[in-house]
Amino acid sequence: MSKGTIAILIGPEYEDLEVWYPKLRLEEAGYDTPLVGMGDALYSGKWGYPAPADRRVADVDPTTLCGVLAPGGWAPDKLRRDPSVLNLVRTVHANNGLVATICHGPWILISAGIVRGRTLTSTVGIRDDVMNAGATWVDQDAVIDGNIVSARVPKDLPAFARAMLRVLEPA
């Protein structure tokens, strides 16, 4: 029996490890983790690993999700331009579901307008973007601020996974 569904956003040149490590860890914990894209049947990661889309973001009812994961790579720059992606992220956030992001993924949260007044981390490359959007940026392996969980880079994935599960399954 599934504990719930967490949509994992994918797009062209997604960061391979930032999709597959959390996907497998969340599945191990009992969650469904469909890969949700903008319309292509298959996406290639930055390092060439293929990710077949399970669903199109436009076909997902965000009210049925317990969370959304916005991984990094170059995909967030494309994903944040899609109104369906932004609606999904805003709706999950408004429903107090998990909104998890790593590396360049906060670009999607910024475009969705949900970071002002929050504390996040990311790759240092978008630190200014996070701060200019009204968030406090910190240099930590994983940050929990309410229902938003963020991490910096692939080496932080173990801490990121533990933080996601703390939000999904509070003690």
Which positions are annotated as active-site residues?
103-104
Under DSSP, the state recorded for 130 is: H
* Four-CA torsion 102, 107, 113, 115, nearest 10 degrees: 40
Cα–Cα distance for residue pair 78/17, rounded to 1 Å? 19
Tell me the two tokens of residue 97: 């579901």
What number of CA atoms fall less than 13 Å from residue 146's CA on the CB side? 12
